[in-house]
Amino acid sequence: MRHQKAVLTLVCLLLVSLMAGLIAGGGCGRGPADVAPGEEPQYGGALTIVPVLEPLGFDDAIRAHHLCPSLRLTNDIIWEGNWAKGYAGGYGSGETGWFLSGGYRLEHKGGGLAESVEWSEENDTVILKLHQGVHWHDKPPTNGRELTADDVAFSIERQYTLDTGYQKMTYPWVAESIEISAVDDYTVVIECRPEHLGDVLGALDFMTVFPRDAVEQFGDMNDWRNSIGTGPFILTDYVPGSSLTFVRNDNYWGKNPVGPGQDDQLPYLDEVKLLIVADESTRDAAFRTGAIDMLGCDWERAQEFLRMSELEHARYLSDMGLVISMRQDIEDSPFADVRVRQALALAMDNQKILDEYYGGEGALLTWPLSPVPEYAGAYVPLEELPAQVQELYGYDLEKAKQLLADAGYPDGFKATIVCHNTREHIDVLSMVKDMWAKVGVELSLDPKDYATYTSLQAKRTYDDMFFGSRSGAGGYYKARNFTGTAMYNTSHVDDPVLNQARDEMVAAYPDEARADAIHRELMPYLLEQAYAIPMPAAYSYRFWWPWVRNYSGEVCVGYYNWDNYAKYVWIDQELKESMGY
C-alpha cells in the first residue's frame, strides 16, 4: 500500500526551494519568516467576515459545492489540507501559503475525517481509515451520535448516484464504475479503475459528509434549519441577503496540530458571523470601521488599505486567473483558425493592461497555470518559452493584421463575449475591446447575472466567446482547461496532441513529479496554439485587523475549502478593545 504521507525527498526539497525563491521574487506576500509567532491562544470572541458569495444551498449533493460555501464551517470533509504545512501562525513548515483555491498537492494533505488515506499499488483501491470519537452536532435526529463509516460511504455514494451530485455531473465516467463500501465502523473502501484514482482522491477534498439518518428523514440537507455536521461550528441563524451566524461546537473532535496551542481542542472562537454584503464600497467601509475582521480584494481596492499601517496583509497570485475563450467547434468559426487566435493575442497589449489596470505588478502568463510556487514544476516561465510563443504575449498590431488577412479576415469580424456583470470583468474587457478594434475586430460585451453566467459556463452553451476563470491548479494533470467536455474547456478544444498528453498525465498520477514533467513539456505547443487568451494576473490581497491571531492570509486549507481556516484563528480581545473596537 502507498500512504498519502509518503513523499519523495527530492520532490519535497525542490518544492520548498522553488517556493522560497518565488516568495523572494514577489510570488506571494508573506513567507514563513514574515509571520511572527503569536502568544498562547485564547478562547472566546467572534470573527466576522464576508463570504465568497451568499450560499445558494446547504447540501453539495443537491447544489454544486461552490454554491454552498458555508458548509466548510459546519461539516467536515474527508481529506483536507494539513494546517501545519502552511504558516500556522508562524509555527508551520511554510511549504504552502494556503492561498490557492482549486489546488494542492498530495504531500500538503493531512487533515479531515480520514486519519489516513491509502491506495493500492494498482491504483484501483482507496482505503479510508476514519478518526474515532467524531460526533455529529447534538440535533435531531442524530442527537450527537458518533460518525461511522456508513455515514461517509453513504455521502460519497450520493455524490456519484444523484443526478445533482457534483461528482456524477462532472465525472460521469467515474460514477459508472466506482464502488463504495463501509467494511467496519471506521473503514471505507473505494474501488475504482486505475485511471480514475486522481478523480477519486480529488473528490475526497471537497465533498461534504452528511449523517445518513438525517438525509433519510429530511430527504436532503438543503434547508439550513436541518444543518447537521461534525464541523467546528453550528449554524444557528440565516437571514437571506443579510447574515449567517455560527456558534462554537463544544464537542468538536479536531485539535490544533502545531504551535503553543498544540493539542488544544478547536475551535477557539465562540462565534463566526458571515455578513452578506454585495456592494464593494459598503464592504470596504465595514472593514475600515472594524465591523468585519478581514477582507479579500483586488489591487485597485487594496491601495487604500495598504496605507492603513495598523492592518496586516498578504499578497499572492491566484491559481484561477481570467481567460478569454473562443469556441472552435462551430463550423466556419474564425476561431478554428490558429492564425486568428494568434492575431487576437498579438492585438492585446498585455503589459498595458498589467500596468494601467493592475498597477504594474503581477504575471503575464497565467494559463493553463499561474506561476504559483506549489506547481512550479509544471509551469514554464515566459522567458524560457520559444521566441514564437513569447511573441504572443507582446504587442504587434501589424503582424496581427497580417495574420487576420492571411486567414481571410482582412477587415476583421464581429464577436460577442459573455461575461459576469461585475466591474472586474467589464472594465478589463473594455480595454480589450478598444485594442482589438485597431485590427478591425468588433467585440460586443454580453454581461450576465451570476446564475445565468455560471449556467452558461457549466453547459458550455454560449455562442461565441466566454470570459471567466479556469480550473484551479490542482487539476492540471487532468488538463480540464483544454481537453474533454467538462465546463472549464471553455474553448471546446479537441486536439489529439493535448488529449494524448492528458492521458499520459492521468496515467502517471499519483506520481505528481512525473505528471509535472509531462505538463511542462507540453506547454510550448499548447501556448503556441493560442486556444485561449489569458489575461495578465494581478496580485490578490487579504487584509485583516491585528486582533485576528494565528492567521497569515490563508484562503483555503485544501481544495476549495473556503473559510475553513476559521477553526484555527483566535481573537485577541484585549488588543481589539485597546484599539477602540
Q: Where are the domains of the chain?
A: 6-27+41-316+549-578, 322-538
How would you classify the pairing of strands 294-297 and 540-544? antiparallel
Here the cell at position 496 is 489529439
The predicted structure's pLDDT at residue 23: 33
Is 97 within 8 Å of 2 (Cβ atoms)?
no
Is 370 within 8 Å of 303 (Cβ atoms)?
no
The rounded distance, in Å, linking the Cα atoms of 56 and 54 is: 6
The rounded distance, in Å, linking the Cα atoms of 355 and 359 is: 5
Cell numbers 458569495 correspond to what residue?
A: 53
Amino acid at 63: R
Cell numbers 513567507 correspond to what residue?
A: 31
Q: Does residue 16 register a pLDDT over 90?
A: no
Here the cell at position 173 is 465516467
pLDDT for 348-400, tens place per residue?
Answer: 999 999 998 888 889 999 999 999 999 999 999 999 999 999 999 999 999 99
Is 529 within 8 Å of 328 (Cβ atoms)?
no
Q: Considering only 81-85, 87-91, 295-299, 355-359, which range has the smallest mean pLDDT?
A: 355-359
Q: Does residue 7 register a pLDDT over 50?
A: no
Q: Are the folds of 6-27+41-316+549-578 and 322-538 the same?
A: no
The per-residue DSSP string of 132-157 comes to SS-B--S-TTTTTPBP-HHHHHHHHH
For residue 350, give the H/E element and its range.
helix 350-357
Is 275 within 8 Å of 292 (Cβ atoms)?
yes
Global pTM value: 0.89
Q: Which fold has domain 6-27+41-316+549-578?
A: D-Maltodextrin-Binding Protein; domain 2 (3.40.190)
Residue 444 backbone dihedrals phi, psi, to 5 degrees: -110, 135
Mean pLDDT of 277-291: 95
The rounded distance, in Å, linking the Cα atoms of 287 and 209 is: 33
> What's the CATH class of domain 322-538?
alpha beta
Residue 334 backbone dihedrals phi, psi, to 5 degrees: -60, -25
Here the cell at position 337 is 483558425
The rounded distance, in Å, linking the Cα atoms of 505 and 498 is: 11
pLDDT for 154-203, tens place per residue?
Answer: 999 999 999 999 898 888 889 999 999 999 999 999 999 999 999 999 99
